[in-house]
Amino acid sequence: SASAAAGEPLTIRDAYAQVGVTQAAISPDGRHVAAVVFTSYGNRVLLVNTDDFSSRAILHSKTVRDGFYEVPKDPFRVTWVTSDRLAVDFGTMAEAVDLDGKRVAELGTRVIDKLNPAAAGSPLMLVYDDDELEDLAVVDVATRKRQKIRYPMSGRLVRWAFDDQARLRAVTLMNSAFWDDKTTLSHWFRPLGSDEWQKIEDAKVTDETWRLLGASSTSDDLVVASRQGLDTYAVVSYDPHQHQLRELLAGHPKEDIVALDDVNASTYRSVATSGMKPVRQWFDSRWAGLQQAADEALPNRLNRLSGDPRGLVLVESRGDVDPGRWFLLDSKAMTMRLMLTARAEIVPEKMRPM
């Protein structure tokens, strides 16, 4: 902006201008970073080459016809399917595109994530398949085949668990009546090798109960979040036959565990905790070293790492004085370069800390 270029105080107009990068993700092979950019003319998806930082727009906002209506089609989120395919959310629809922005598959209403995020080469995507964001489907981007997720029980789907073989093994459903304020949750599971669903238990929505996270592919055990008998939410295995919590898988004495990088892994690479400051706790020594290096180089920030710990790593850095910057960290040479900026007109050194 003019005021920023001249070194003058940031104007209210500049501060609220919808211009800048809102999201970025590195490809599984580390060759590209896909970024969602907001401009005064709409949204774009940029593909940035990690070798020389050259970039090109592969998608942009446009208006499309839907029946009798014209509706905006604005890309606002990207997820890598494989190294040559991207899943793109457009608000009311989602598509998979190639590296030139050409559509290769219709996905549904909105992308949830890869069905198995740990499988870099898997083309399976988990998506919402309806406008109410209640129905799920699994889409194979390579074959364009779609499998709607079905179950015989009634209720609004609020949680689900697939095993690492892409089988739906457990669900949590919510039931509420229009004239009754008693909302209940029902937990269900499908035993290994069976198509029959079995109810685990019912609970009031206000009850202190466990939250479904994942499922084993070798037994009927589930992975859940619970704080029963604890001061914080931890990750625990659950026996649906005996209706009881079993082994503590991951926990923190003072902070809730709010996310896992791979819920169905036999050993966890990291967990995210939510205290006064969200922290990613690494159990992998290589990742832990890179996190420490990024935190020392970018102090007083939330630094989120993704990519290859023995190759290129994308560092998303945010803080109270910085709306966001993305750096490319070369883990072999241990060098880091600024790649993208959320709001180029904001100078963090001139912002007042909270």
CA distance 319 to 342: 12
Task: Tell me the mean pLDDT in the region 96-104.
Answer: 97
Q: Is 287 left (phi over 0), alpha (psi -120 to 50) or beta?
A: alpha
**CB within 8 Å of 37: residues ≥ 6 apart:** 20, 21, 22, 43, 44, 45, 46
Q: Is the pLDDT of residue 1 over 50?
A: no
| CB 59, CB 90: distance < 8 Å | no
Helical (H) or strand (E) element with 3: helix 2-5
| CB 83, CB 29: distance < 8 Å | yes
CA distance 55 to 81: 20
Tokens of 221: 């055990």
Tokens of 96: 């998979």
Tokens of 207: 């009850």
Closest-CA residue to 137 (of 94, 73, 104, 175): 94
Q: At 3, is the pLDDT very low, low, confident or very high (cuts 50, 70, 90)? A: very low
Q: Which of 79-83, 114-118, 222-226, 270-274 has the lowest mean pLDDT?
A: 114-118
CA distance 214 to 264: 6
pLDDT score recorded for residue 180: 62
Burial of 121 (0-12, 13-18, 19+ CB in 10 A): exposed
For the entire predicted model, the pTM comes to: 0.88
| CB 216, CB 223: distance < 8 Å | yes
Q: Which residue has the higher pLDDT, 158 or 178?
A: 158
Give Rg (Cα) of the chain.
22
Q: At 267, is the pLDDT very low, low, confident or very high (cuts 50, 70, 90)? A: confident
CA distance 43 to 92: 15
Q: At 177, is the pLDDT very low, low, confident or very high (cuts 50, 70, 90)? A: low
**CB within 8 Å of 266: residues ≥ 6 apart:** none
pLDDT tens sequence across 47-98? 999 999 999 999 999 988 877 888 889 999 999 999 999 999 998 899 999 9
Helical (H) or strand (E) element with 110: strand 110-114
pLDDT score recorded for residue 133: 87
Q: Is the pLDDT of residue 298 over 90?
A: yes
